[in-house]
Structure 1
Amino acid sequence: MAEEFDNLLNPEFDEQPLFTTKKRKKLIGLDDLFNDHKKKQDKTKKGKSKAVKTRNVCESDDDDDDANETASKLTEALQNFKKTISEVDEDIGALNDIGREGISSNWGLQVFGTQRSPSPLAVPHLEGCSLLQNSMNNVLDALLDDSSQMGETFLEGLLLNGWLSKLVITRGHLEESIGKWTVNLLLYSSEESLMASACDFWCAIFCNEADAPVVKVEWLPGFVELNRALDSFGFQMHLPKKISSPADPTLDSSNHRGPPTNIRTWIKLANACFQVRRRYLALSKQEAEELIGMLICLFLERKLLGLTGALHDCLLSAIYFFEEKEWSSSCEKVAKSIADRIPRDLNCLRAVDSILGVDTRSKQLRSVVASQFLASFYTELQVTDAKDLLKFLLSNNLKDKNCNFSKIYLCLVLTENWLLFRTETGPLVNELWRSFIHKCSIQISNTNYRPFAQEIRNRASYLLHSTVRG
């Protein structure tokens, strides 16, 4: 015990006392623990990085396998699709034909060709008209100075501000020279202000109030003037000849190709001529029939789409130009004229649709025009009876690869219009019609990609649903 006590008191042990040594070991241990912790973190990060790289490599290999498998499935599906198309159309090239068919089947005709030099009316000397001589003689003498050009300038001023029509209506007399001069401006002037003012002048003369005195007109514009103007505009559907090719806007972009701006005022003048039969005989019955055929042709010119409303108004006035006892025979003649002018493609459907069918006469004309087009399709059948036509259409095998779907589609739409706007249809006709549209809706599959196949199927399904619901 004494020896152990001496050792404790020995100065050599002062450098490493028991309690001090334990305290220092504790401090050093914390540093080591911190360093070890950092090393473990670094090792863990490196391990995770290697694991991610390994997993990415594995997943990349899996993705490549999946991509190859997906590509193989897509290739197989595409081959099956091509095989299906080939079985339906028996020619894989039919898909290309579908595209060409869609382009060539658009409605639209080049109704106007190259514009010709206008042949305006010969106008008597304006300075000799009584309107200039009797109105404000002193002022006019100073203005005119025996010059016809000054007289025309003065009249243009009256025309532009609307005073010319008021003077004529007040006097109750329209002279031939002023009438022809204003019609020339209306049909051939290149100045839109003069052209529009001349149109307003004639509308004011023709459409004067019913209780106002009738203006005595020495000369009236009529079919001759309207027809001559269309000739100068380049209109090329006068004669009953079919034009088989649709309009191609890339054929000629020349400014000399019609229609000109004057076609707008031409339509308005024709409309006024149709409306004034009870006051002025501007058109005969035969001339009115001819003009209706020309109006329907104008609906086929895509450049006139902006004037569709004006054309509809003019056509309605033309339909009611005829007296009740004249209408039935004139309706047949007009329908035949239209069928003779227009080719048997989608243009004939456009022609039928241009007759709105909002009133009794329009419905009748629409039905008869559709009937005339159907008759032109089957001239050998002499189509006059709806039952015979429907029986013939039902005899077509829509599953036959040689079936002409484009013709079936045209006949489907035309027959729809023929029957829809007829005054009376019997139960047998209605039953045959339902049978036909039912056949069209079920005998054409939704995988049939031949031209017009889906158009027939969809339209027939819609008509069948409407018929059953009605």
Structure 2
Amino acid sequence: MAEEFDNLLNPEFDEQPLFTTKKRKKLIGLDDLFNDHKKKQDKTKKGKSKAVKTRNVCESDDDDDANETASKLTEALQNFKKTISEVDEDIGALNDIGREGISSNWGLQVFGTQRSPSPLAVPHLEGCSLLQNSMNNVLDALLDDSSQMGETFLEGLLLNGWLSKLVITRGHLEESIGKWTVNLLLYSSEESLMASACDFWCAIFCNEADAPVVKVEWLPGFVELNRALDSFGFQMHLPKKISSPADPTLDSSNHRGPPTNIRTWIKLANACFQVRRRYLALSKQEAEELIGMLICLFLERKLLGLTGALHDCLLSAIYFFEEKEWSSSCEKVAKSIADRIPRDLNCLRAVDSILGVDTRSKQLRSVVASQFLASFYTELQVTDAKDLLKFLLSNNLKDKNCNFSKIYLCLVLTENWLLFRTETGPLVNELWRSFIHKCSIQISNTNYRPFAQEIRNRASYLLHSTVRG
């Protein structure tokens, strides 16, 4: 019974239906085909529209990026043009230094074309007593032929240093030997003779206390020094044009002075200044004139290698004068220097050339600076430091028409004038601090006009030094 029941549940024992129903195939008509075709077209259109929309969105994004880039480029181009315009203005200002009334460098062509030398006439050199005595004494035994006596023999003595020893031993210098040696010193083209002649006169003019005094028949002085300087091409009236070491036209001619004799000229002038107590080679007026010439030599760039010798000579010149003469001579020398030298950076070079730390050098430096300042403001007749500083304080440094070149020169000259004065006073000191403070804050560090940064930096340094002091 149970087995029959299981068989009933088994599908294998199910009875087969009597009739089987066949599945009918679905008929596809033209309408169905048309609808399918239309659906496909709709899908294709939708796909194309989506692609177009996507492309439009991308193109829109690209257009936005392009517009943004173009605007940035336009802005950058405008900024660049603005910068170029500012640079052009700065370059124009730098190129138009003449509008500021000053050159950007110092240096003058102090020497022009050399002239024919005019040496001293030497009377009877071969007949001088020194040679005659030499022939009659031991020296003639050293000579095989008496024809060697004369100038050649004297040159040998000069080169070996024996000529000065003979003259000092005899205690007498004859005019012929004196003029002959000065000619060699100032005009000889042989450096050995030139240097030996210079050593000869330095030995004669020795200023030591225990040095023997030689009786000198003839002394070189201002006339000989001035004549030699004139033959070197020295220009008494200095040119206004600034000379530049890079200018090829200045050294294109071999005839432009000075010759190498300028070195011995400086040494001879130095010796003449030092021997006033023994030999009066120069007068007070001649010494004043020579100091003005010496200051001019500092402005010749070809003599930079002789700056030390020029400083020594200038110091000797300053102490040529007696104590009672110095004050008046200092004023005359300062006025002469201010009249000779143009009011540009050369006047600062002239002031800086007075380097001494002694009282007289400081006084001369201060007076020279004050004379240059007075020449700047001749119409104002400024002679007092208070009036000058008040006038300088009245300048508006922010004004585009402010003459920075003149302000810079006045700043440096006033510094030297006040720094080396014996008395200034509290009011002058306060006005000076106000002026340098104004110079340090009213000029921007982006102001590239000529001398703007020089004023700002120097004033800041002076202000810091004043506060610290």
SS of equivalent residue, structure 1 residue 104:
coil
Q: Distance in 2 between matches of 1:85 and 1:152?
A: 73
CA contact (8 A) 1:241 1:341 kept: no
**Residue 105 of structure 1: how far off its partner (Å):** 1.9
**Residue 401 of structure 1: how far off its partner (Å):** 1.2
> What residue is the counterpart of 2:442 in the other structure?
443
In structure 2, relative to structure 1, the CA distance for the partners of 1:64 and 1:98 (3 Å cut) is farther
Per mean C-alpha deviation after superposition, the further-off stretch among 77-86 and 452-461 is 77-86
CA contact (8 A) 1:143 1:150 kept: no
CA contact (8 A) 1:132 1:140 kept: no
In structure 2, relative to structure 1, the CA distance for the partners of 1:13 and 1:447 (3 Å cut) is farther
Per mean C-alpha deviation after superposition, the further-off stretch among 183-192 and 230-239 is 230-239
In structure 2, relative to structure 1, the CA distance for the partners of 1:93 and 1:220 (3 Å cut) is closer
Q: Distance in 1 between matches of 2:33 and 2:262?
A: 100
Spell out, residue by residue over 1:297-337, the C-alpha distance to the aligned partner (whole angstroms, 9 max, x if none). Answer: 00000000000000000000000000000000000000000
SS of equivalent residue, structure 1 residue 116:
coil
Spell out, residue by residue over 1:415-451, the C-alpha distance to the aligned partner (whole angstroms, 9 max, x if none). Answer: 0000000001100000000100111111111111111
> What residue is the counterpart of 1:31 in the other structure?
31
Per mean C-alpha deviation after superposition, the further-off stretch among 384-393 and 93-102 is 93-102
In structure 2, relative to structure 1, the CA distance for the partners of 1:208 and 1:351 (3 Å cut) is closer
CA contact (8 A) 2:109 2:238 kept: no
Per mean C-alpha deviation after superposition, the further-off stretch among 34-43 and 204-213 is 34-43
In structure 2, relative to structure 1, the CA distance for the partners of 1:143 and 1:441 (3 Å cut) is same
CA contact (8 A) 1:164 1:201 kept: yes
Per mean C-alpha deviation after superposition, the further-off stretch among 117-126 and 241-250 is 241-250
CA contact (8 A) 1:242 1:343 kept: no
CA contact (8 A) 2:171 2:213 kept: yes
CA contact (8 A) 2:102 2:405 kept: no
**Residue 466 of structure 1: how far off its partner (Å):** 0.7
CA contact (8 A) 2:90 2:448 kept: no
SS of equivalent residue, structure 1 residue 446:
coil
CA contact (8 A) 2:315 2:356 kept: no
In structure 2, relative to structure 1, the CA distance for the partners of 1:13 and 1:337 (3 Å cut) is farther
In structure 2, relative to structure 1, the CA distance for the partners of 1:213 and 1:164 (3 Å cut) is same
**Residue 21 of structure 1: how far off its partner (Å):** 56
Q: Distance in 2 between matches of 1:27 and 1:181?
A: 147
CA contact (8 A) 1:187 1:266 kept: yes
CA contact (8 A) 2:107 2:243 kept: no
CA contact (8 A) 1:108 1:247 kept: no
CA contact (8 A) 1:242 1:341 kept: no
Spell out, residue by residue over 1:203-255, the C-alpha distance to the aligned partner (whole angstroms, 9 max, x if none). Answer: 00001542233100000000000000000000002689998999955234211
Spell out, residue by residue over 1:345-386, the C-alpha distance to the aligned partner (whole angstroms, 9 max, x if none). Answer: 000000000001411000000000000000000001112100
In structure 2, relative to structure 1, the CA distance for the partners of 1:43 and 1:419 (3 Å cut) is farther
Q: Distance in 1 between matches of 2:281 and 2:161?
A: 23
> What residue is the counterpart of 1:394 in the other structure?
393
Spell out, residue by residue over 1:86-105, the C-alpha distance to the aligned partner (whole angstroms, 9 max, x if none). Answer: 57997873354469989942
In structure 2, relative to structure 1, the CA distance for the partners of 1:90 and 1:169 (3 Å cut) is closer
**Residue 117 of structure 1: how far off its partner (Å):** 0.4
Q: Distance in 2 between matches of 1:68 and 1:10?
A: 81
> What residue is the counterpart of 1:155 in the other structure?
154
Q: Distance in 2 between matches of 1:22 and 1:213?
A: 162
**Residue 4 of structure 1: how far off its partner (Å):** 42
- How many correspondences in the alignment? 469
CA contact (8 A) 2:134 2:140 kept: no
Spell out, residue by residue over 1:57-92, the C-alpha distance to the aligned partner (whole angstroms, 9 max, x if none). Answer: 9999x9999999999989966854763685799787
Q: Distance in 1 between matches of 2:289 and 2:408?
A: 29
In structure 2, relative to structure 1, the CA distance for the partners of 1:241 and 1:272 (3 Å cut) is farther
CA contact (8 A) 1:109 1:246 kept: no
SS of equivalent residue, structure 2 residue 102:
helix
CA contact (8 A) 1:169 1:215 kept: yes
CA contact (8 A) 1:106 1:246 kept: no
> What residue is the counterpart of 1:52 in the other structure?
52
- Give the root-mean-square deviation of aligned CA atoms: 10.7
Q: Distance in 1 between matches of 2:19 and 2:356?
A: 117
CA contact (8 A) 1:117 1:232 kept: yes
Per mean C-alpha deviation after superposition, the further-off stretch among 133-142 and 21-30 is 21-30
Q: Distance in 1 between matches of 2:160 and 2:46?
A: 94
In structure 2, relative to structure 1, the CA distance for the partners of 1:43 and 1:157 (3 Å cut) is farther
In structure 2, relative to structure 1, the CA distance for the partners of 1:15 and 1:111 (3 Å cut) is farther
In structure 2, relative to structure 1, the CA distance for the partners of 1:91 and 1:359 (3 Å cut) is closer
CA contact (8 A) 1:160 1:197 kept: yes
Q: Distance in 2 between matches of 1:157 and 1:17?
A: 162
In structure 2, relative to structure 1, the CA distance for the partners of 1:397 and 1:169 (3 Å cut) is same
**Residue 46 of structure 1: how far off its partner (Å):** 38
CA contact (8 A) 1:127 1:147 kept: no
SS of equivalent residue, structure 2 residue 19:
helix
**Residue 127 of structure 1: how far off its partner (Å):** 1.4
Per mean C-alpha deviation after superposition, the further-off stretch among 19-28 and 386-395 is 19-28
Spell out, residue by residue over 1:112-141, the C-alpha distance to the aligned partner (whole angstroms, 9 max, x if none). Answer: 000000000000111111100112426766
Q: Distance in 1 between matches of 2:209 and 2:14?
A: 140
CA contact (8 A) 1:237 1:297 kept: no
CA contact (8 A) 1:243 1:342 kept: no
Per mean C-alpha deviation after superposition, the further-off stretch among 362-371 and 248-257 is 248-257
In structure 2, relative to structure 1, the CA distance for the partners of 1:143 and 1:401 (3 Å cut) is same
In structure 2, relative to structure 1, the CA distance for the partners of 1:366 and 1:35 (3 Å cut) is farther
CA contact (8 A) 1:127 1:146 kept: no
Q: Distance in 2 between matches of 1:16 and 1:199?
A: 155
Q: Distance in 2 between matches of 1:295 and 1:427?
A: 36
Matched, 1:146 2:134: no
Q: Distance in 1 between matches of 2:269 and 2:19?
A: 126
Q: What pairs up with 1:421-440 in 2 under 5 angstroms?
A: 421-440=420-439
Per mean C-alpha deviation after superposition, the further-off stretch among 17-26 and 48-57 is 17-26
Q: Distance in 2 between matches of 1:25 and 1:152?
A: 152
In structure 2, relative to structure 1, the CA distance for the partners of 1:2 and 1:250 (3 Å cut) is farther
CA contact (8 A) 2:109 2:239 kept: no
Larger radius of gyration between Structure 1 and Structure 2: 2
**Residue 33 of structure 1: how far off its partner (Å):** 54
SS of equivalent residue, structure 2 residue 28:
helix
CA contact (8 A) 1:110 1:248 kept: no
In structure 2, relative to structure 1, the CA distance for the partners of 1:214 and 1:350 (3 Å cut) is same
Please give the TM-score of this superposition, normalised by the length of structure 1.
Answer: 0.79
